[in-house]
Structure 1
Amino acid sequence: MIRRLLLALSFLVAAGCGSHGVDSIQWMSMGTIARVSFKGSASSFALPSMRSSRGDNRCLVESVRSVYEEVERRLSIWNSESEISRYTAIGGVSPEMRPCYEAAFELQRKSGGVFNPFWRGKGTGPDLGGIAKGFAVDLAAAKLLREGMCQGAGSCGVLLDLGGNLKVVSGEWRTGIRNPSGEMQAIVLTNGMACATSGEYERGKHIYDGRTGLAVTNDLVSVTVVHPSSAMIADGLSTTLFVLGREEGESFLKSCYPEAAAYWIVKQP
């Protein structure tokens, strides 16, 4: 239902990092590309033995991977044994996944159904695909911070990216949004900040209005949302704002999610 745009990334060297660069480890997860990027001293990125104060940086990556796999196991509508597939049969949700359900239902209410986790119709459970990836990123970032796994791992920064849903675990990073002419618009993200982009960069890919089930036709190429703390909220908002369009979307954002900011890429004449 939703097309997630993968952001083209460029990186801003944080203060104190000198000229040392960025290293990334990526894999497939939740149907898209997952990436953990590290920024710090050259010794932090001496593959294959990247070290942190808590051991191999690959342990950090495995910690992130395990979170993503758990979210997918519980929230995939394609798995008949998942928590969300059994939603209508048993009712209730697990405490671990509850924030994702609550955020989706809140966004549905505030948007008047533009964001609609029940788009599949009556008699079916919700589909949280519109915010699940952002939720997984938030959980993974919280786990890394809680377990102290970022101390020394990329001493100047760690960035999580799941299908274009970004969250800064530590450091300062710059993400680039490419417009139709190929130019890049830079956005700087610091500790805890998150962003997500929805768009229709590929022919035949569409975003649908949750109220009507119809594909959206407007003058937008993409919408990028930056949130001070939640990749999950940024994830859901980016699609919602794309459907609403710039004028209505800006009004909605100001009244319902004033802490967030949106960057709009408009189609060229």
Structure 2
Amino acid sequence: MRASLLVMLLTLLYGCGERIERFSGSTMGSTYSIQYVPTTQTPDSQRVKAEVEAILGALDQQFSTWRGDSVVSRFNDLPAGACQALPEDMRRLLAYGEFLFRESGGAFDLTVQPLMNLWGFGPQSRGEQVPDASALARERARVGQQHLRLDGEKLCKDVAAQLDFDSMVAGYAVDRVGDRLSALGIQAYLVEITGELKGVGRKPDGSPWRIALEVPSGGREQHVERAIALDGYGVSTSGDYRNYFEEGGQRYSHTFDPRVGRPVKHALAAVTVVDPSALHADGLSTLLMVLGPEEGYAFAERHDLAAYFIMRQGSDFVARATPRFESLFPGQGKTMR
């Protein structure tokens, strides 16, 4: 399950005499759930589920760093100077990752996996630990999207770089599944994949799909703070309180700043991004989480993003919403305890 999952679904309400179809399953090392309003033109639920799982299976075959036969794992095993042909999905995500890398001055980086492994959070890690300076310097030399070069349909690397698309592939999967549901004639749905969500249309009783933002409560637990209604928007939340370790009295999060090669140390506990594209929301929530409460908020405001920041303040938490978020969901930027 994604460590950054800070969003939960609220109980859905039924309209009188109408229904919502539901199904769920496993994917990307976690789970997915689909809820939609069927119509007379909608295929039967088994076909809908089969179409969804075909998309998820294909993406897992490309992007999973936990299976040795995936496209990304084969690329990661290549030595410096090698090239490999990439499928269209991967080229799309690489292009968006390159955009975020440039816009953030390297705070967002798809080549961070060597650092994740070194600190104990990646698929090839050897346990959570603070690395020594020489090991950190060695792995940092392999990190940086400037070491990648796209040559037609092939991706080349000038160091033994390793890609990790976990910061955006679930959001992309949400968009792909949503597009397929729309193509099948489904006009109202809520898609959730490893915690990334998108809601379109309305439930049979006319009410919107609603999700609840969670607030950490000091440990790895959380509580529901308030709900927002979705229609045509994707939602992604990244946070640092579910996946971390402690050593020598210091807390080390799984959220890394690639610019320094270490977990972030700022007071930002979680950030939610809302965007018509779940892919964009997914990547941007990671980017803002790395940048932190001040630099991240400035970035979000500068790019007119709908973002909701939750910062630690002593034993309490304080929330700050961007103007764009406030315009979409009035009353969401309040101080919390």
Shift of 1:23: 5.7
Is structure 2 residue 157 aligned with structure 1 residue 159? no
Does the 8 Å contact 1:13/1:19 carry over to 2? no
Written as runs of structure 1 = structure 2, the 5 A alignment for 1:108-147 is 108-119=101-112, 120=114, 121=142, 122-147=159-184
Gaps of 5+ in 1: 45-50, 152-156
Question: Which residue number corresponds to residue 201 of structure 1?
Answer: 241
- Seen in structure 2, the aligned counterparts of structure 1 residues 168 and 33 have a Cα distance that, compared at 3 Å, is same
Q: Distance in 1 between matches of 2:239 and 2:214?
A: 11
Q: Distance in 2 between matches of 1:245 and 1:8?
A: 23
Question: Which residue number corresponds to residue 66 of structure 2?
Answer: 78
Shift of 1:98: 2.0
Q: What is the DSSP-based 3-state SS (H/G/I as helix, E as strand, rest coil) of the residue aligned with 1:195?
A: strand
Question: Which residue number corresponds to residue 26 of structure 1?
Answer: 24
Q: Distance in 1 between matches of 2:290 and 2:269?
A: 11
Question: Which residue number corresponds to residue 67 of structure 1?
Answer: 55
Gaps of 5+ in 2: 115-141, 143-158, 203-207, 218-222, 246-252, 315-337
Q: Distance in 1 between matches of 2:93 and 2:299?
A: 21
Deviates more, 1:172-181 or 1:103-112: 172-181
Q: Given residue 188 of structure 1, which amino acid in structure 2 is its aligned partner?
A: A
Q: What is the DSSP-based 3-state SS (H/G/I as helix, E as strand, rest coil) of the residue aligned with 1:133?
A: helix
Q: What is the DSSP-based 3-state SS (H/G/I as helix, E as strand, rest coil) of the residue aligned with 1:55?
A: coil
- Please identify runs of 4+ aligned residues in structure 1 that moved more than 6 A: none
Does the 8 Å contact 1:180/1:267 carry over to 2? no
Does the 8 Å contact 2:236/2:282 carry over to 1? yes
Shift of 1:4: 2.0
- How many positions carry a matched residue from both structures? 246
Question: Which residue number corresponds to residue 226 of structure 2?
Answer: 185
Alpha-carbon RMSD: 2.6
Does the 8 Å contact 2:293/2:311 carry over to 1? no
Higher strand share: 2
Q: Distance in 1 between matches of 2:13 and 2:294?
A: 35
Is structure 2 residue 58 aligned with structure 1 residue 58? no
Shift of 1:22: 5.5
Q: What is the DSSP-based 3-state SS (H/G/I as helix, E as strand, rest coil) of the residue aligned with 2:237?
A: strand
Of 83, 98, 103, 1:105 maps to: 98
Question: Which residue number corresponds to residue 48 of structure 1?
Answer: none
**Percent of aligned pairs with the same residue?**
31
Q: What is the DSSP-based 3-state SS (H/G/I as helix, E as strand, rest coil) of the residue aligned with 2:263?
A: coil
Q: Given residue 75 of structure 1, which amino acid in structure 2 is its aligned partner?
A: F
Shift of 1:54: 3.0
Does the 8 Å contact 2:62/2:72 carry over to 1? yes
Q: Given residue 91 of structure 2, which amino acid in structure 1 is its aligned partner?
A: R
